[in-house]
Structure 1
Amino acid sequence: MSTHFYGEGNIGSAPEFREFPNGNNEPRRLLRLNVYFDNPIPTKDGFEDRGGFWAPVEIWHRDAERWAALYQKGMRVLVEGRAVKDDWEDAEENERVTFKIEARRAGILPYRLEAVVLGAKPAAAEPAENE
């Protein structure tokens, strides 16, 4: 079971990067973020969180290793993807159910950022010389 998901929240722990062999092809790369999706309700004193939840966010992408250094605990992110039911067994063989987010996009929001630095633009491939 899955459904479209769109939510804003804070990364709650250091990102986790994993790489999985894929035969003779390039390995599959996973970046996992643990995100608290809050439900801020405006009040006269600011905002109050009413009914947020924690969810693992999985980003499968070839650049996941580079992104692991970019995302940090405490960052505010906007996640778009799908919520997926995940059935599993714990150590005592009890059946458990959780929901995870398989992200298509996870954008960093500018809250609490001090600076943004862009890397150098990749050099264009030079044409081969004719002999």
Structure 2
Amino acid sequence: MKPWILVALLAAALTGCESTEGLVADSPVTNQIQLTGTYYPLSEVDQAPVAVKQTPPSFPSKMRKAGIDGKAIVVLIVNEKGLPEQVQVEQATHELFAKAAIDAIRQWQFKPATKGGQPVAVRLEIPMEFRRDNELP
């Protein structure tokens, strides 16, 4: 076989192959959280908010292909109506996990926190873990 044919066959075989080299590089996320408006810290409410609708985060496909699990810590305000506001990631093992966590939590709904029998806005911190072995088939 001629050498140029071998090179052409090898190039054709590799066409469309996706490299995971750039995906396995660490890309941790650390943010300084800045929330605005009036809200209570969790320690100052009588009743903590309760999640009544939890949309699970989507595992980032690029991270799954690379065989990488991850974590994210999300900080948000649960308002008086039980809706998430100002959803931010404080820490994540990779920016793709941060985005997936934010996208999921923005869809959550809560029974709001109460203080003195009245619904109030509260700061909440939610850790999320992304593990391939926990995924549904």
**Structure having the higher Rg:** 2
Q: TM-score surpassing 0.5?
A: no
Decide which structure has greater strand share. Answer: 1
TM-score range, shorter chain: under 0.3
TM-score (normalizing by structure 2) = 0.25
Structure scoring higher RCO (CA < 8 A, sep ≥ 6) equals: 2
TM-score (normalizing by structure 1) = 0.26
